[in-house]
Amino acid sequence: MVNRLVAVTRTVIHNPTTYMRYLKNVITLKLNDALCIGCGRCVEVCPHAVFHIHKFRASIVDRNACMECGACARNCPVDALSVNAGVGCVTGLINRTLGRKGDCCCTDDSCC
């Protein structure tokens, strides 16, 4: 039993996208492939491993793991990325934790 717990703990610590999920197919993240220069900054700053560099271009490998923080778009030197930062469920959760009215993408209280 202890070995299983250690294995699960390692998975969670090393790959947060295995347990961090929001609503599927509502993410505002967009990548303009024609503008991408493959610098890899999006890969460096994304906390949920949404991006991957392949053949000198970024690609979105796990769109539903995006928490819409905006770090990728702010750090892209050629503006190849766009996202409506601060509109997702993460913002709703943070606002509710701070006692503010939740500004969430949900229509009910199921995720926030």
Q: For residues 31 and 10, which has the higher predicted lDDT (pLDDT)?
A: 31
* Length of the chain in terms of residues written: 112
Domain extents in the chain: 13-97
pLDDT of residue 78: 97
- Residue 39 to residue 4: CA distance in whole angstroms: 38
Mean pLDDT of 14-20: 49
Long-range contacts of the stretch 47-55 (C-beta < 8 A, 24+): 47/16, 47/71, 48/16, 48/17, 48/20, 49/15, 49/16, 49/17
pLDDT of residue 82: 95
CATH of 13-97, one of 3.30.70.20, 3.40.50.300, 3.90.76.10, 3.50.50.60: 3.30.70.20
Rounded to the nearest integer, the mean pLDDT of the chain is: 75
User: Residue 105: pLDDT above 80?
Assistant: no
pLDDT of residue 21: 56
- Residue 71 to residue 75: CA distance in whole angstroms: 6
